[in-house]
Amino acid sequence: MPAKLVLGISGNIIRPSKTLTFVDHIAGQIAFRSGGVSRTFDIQDLGTSLGQARQLNELEPSARDLVELIAAADVLVVGSPTYKGSYTGLFKHFLDLLDPAALRGKPVILAATGGGERHSLIVEHQLRPLFGFFEALTMPTAIYATAKDFAEGVLVSETIQARAQQAVIEACRAIGATENVSLAA
Ligand SMILES: Cc1cc2nc3c(=O)[nH]c(=O)nc-3n(C[C@H](O)[C@H](O)[C@H](O)COP(=O)(O)O)c2cc1C
């Protein structure tokens, strides 16, 4: 059986990025538990053509390769920094280019970061309906972190790590990769 492909997609438009680190951490955990491989990209990886593109074939080739990876992925981990109470505009613009059926049935973990706790429901009120539109299989546990959960760009909060593990377990179950999975206490 081929190794599972776990793809992280981060909506950050600035680097360094806590969101990119966060998404990559979760994607890496799924790969570790499922014996798969993970890869994470962000808006910068999509290149300068993204802002101008009105359809997929107007993206530069490297960005189109990333769209192919989305189709091939067994699991997606999507995350965005909170901008004005929602995901970033360029993240939404990228998703607007995808075929509406592109994510149908795809297991997806939802994650976000923000400057404070106030907008923590971005994962439920913004990201979940968006991926509902795509008929993706969103995992029940969504994860939100703030600056205080990171130290020097690394996720250090044990509470958030535990919540991320819960989502990781759900994703592993969704792809039938339960061998190395035990329920978090
Ligand atoms: C333009 C802009 C708008 C923002 N709006 C919000 C907001 O509405 N709510 C919030 O909690 N944080 C907001 N923030 C803070 C970011 O969400 C937060 O710093 C985030 O973790 C940054 O992620 P990054 O390190 O991946 O760039 C905003 C930041 C920027 C630059």
Q: How many CA atoms lie within 13 A of 154 on its CB side?
A: 3
Cis bond leading into 16, ω under 30°? Answer: yes
Q: What is the pLDDT of residue 2?
A: 84
Q: What is the pLDDT of residue 1?
A: 77
Any ligand 1 atom below 6 A from CB of 163: no
| Region of residue 48 (left: phi > 0; alpha: psi -120 to 50; beta: else) | alpha
Any ligand 1 atom below 6 A from CB of 153: no
- Spatial contact of 112 and 42, defined as CB atoms under 8 Å apart: no
Whose C-alpha lies nearest to ligand 1, atom 4?
A: 83
Any ligand 1 atom below 6 A from CB of 21: no
**Domain map (residue ranges) of the chain:** 5-174
Q: Which residues pair with 138 in a beta bridge?
A: 108
- Tell me the mean pLDDT per 10 residues along the chain, length 185: 94 97 98 97 97 98 97 98 98 98 98 97 98 98 97 95 98 86 46
- Spatial contact of 83 and 52, defined as CB atoms under 8 Å apart: no
CA-CA-CA-CA torsion sign (99, 21, 123, 38): positive
Instruction: Give domain 5-174's CATH architecture.
Output: 3-Layer(aba) Sandwich (3.40)
Any ligand 1 atom below 6 A from CB of 17: yes
C-alpha to C-alpha distance for 78 and 22, rounded to whole angstroms: 10
Residue 57 contacts by C-beta under 8 Å, 6 or more apart in sequence?
A: 64
- At position 125, the amino acid (one-letter code) is H
C-alpha to C-alpha distance for 158 and 99, rounded to whole angstroms: 37
Residue 164 tokens read as 């991320």
Instruction: Produce one character per residue of 115-125: b if its CB has 16 or more CB atoms within 10 Å, e if not.
Output: eeeebbebbee
Any ligand 1 atom below 6 A from CB of 126: no
Whole-angstrom CA distances from 97 to 56, 80, 124, 137, 174 are 6, 17, 22, 20, 26
Please state the atom number of ligand 1 nearest to the C-alpha of residue 82.
17
pTM, 2 dp: 0.96
Instruction: Produce one character per residue of 19-41: b if its CB has 16 or more CB atoms within 10 Å, e if not.
Output: bbbbbbbbbbbbbebbebebbbb
